[in-house]
Amino acid sequence: MEARLLIPMGEGFLLGLGLIMGIGPQNSFILQNALRRQYVFLMIVLASLIDISLIGLGVGGAASFITQSKALLSAISLTGAAFLLGYGWRSFRSALRPDQPLRLSGRRGTLECKTIVLGILAVSLLNPSTYLDTMFLIGGNAAHYDEPLRLFFALGASIASIVWFFLLACGAANFSKWLARPWATRVIDVFSGLIMWLLALRLLLHLH
């Protein structure tokens, strides 16, 4: 693969990973239910398909619309950079808080397949930040690339979702003790914050 294709793919992967790593409703739902070892593969597939679909809409629709106006592109870039800086700062602040381990429930109660499906749909599609991340931030960042390269940006972001959900769901039971340690959540917060600030800097550099 040509190097020029790896750049947007790598940037899309980093942005997607940085946005998805936070322990929000979707990740919490997957973690809690993966501990039951029920419908793990189904959760991975559903969560990944939802993310990939929204990323496609963001890159294919939002990015194309944004590039029609340089003023709009600049405004979106400034807003996106501000959000990423704020998001990163929130991650760093979270890492500096007193010990707050991630609380994971090891209950083994049986859930129906329908409950899992409805749960994934709810925490994914009823969460406003999902649309902000996939449609606005990923779509806005992709707008800086020519149309053929946007596909590779979207591919990188999509791969990040698949990799993260797979590691999260399959590793939940094995790494639950590790995740419950305060320093583990700090590592996640710091890593996510660094990615957000680096991407914010890149957005600002695109303005010049």
Closest CA to 8 of 190, 157, 198: 157
Can you give the pLDDT at residue 160?
95
CA atoms within 13 A on the CB side of 100: 10
C-alpha to C-alpha distance for 33 and 116, rounded to whole angstroms: 8
Can you give the pLDDT at residue 18?
84
Question: Phi first, then psi: what are they for 24, rounded to 5°?
Answer: -105, -165
Closest CA to 203 of 64, 81, 58, 67: 81
Identify the domain containing residue 81 by its residue range: 3-102+109-205
Handedness of CA 98, 104, 106, 109 (dihedral sign): positive
Asked whether 142 and 56 are in contact (CB, 8 A), the reply is: no
CA atoms within 13 A on the CB side of 160: 22
Count: domains in the chain: 1
Max intra-chain CA distance, the chain: 56
Handedness of CA 169, 171, 175, 179 (dihedral sign): negative
**Percent helix, percent strand, percent coil in the chain, to nearest 5:** 80, 0, 20
Closest CA to 196 of 45, 44, 81: 81
pTM of the full structure: 0.70
CA-based angle 36:40:45, to the nearest 5?
Answer: 155
Q: What are the per-10-residue average pLDDT scores of the chain (208 residues)? A: 81 89 73 77 92 89 68 73 80 73 52 83 78 79 83 94 90 67 74 78 72
Can you give the pLDDT at residue 156?
94
Q: Where are the beta strands (DSSP E) in the chain?
A: none
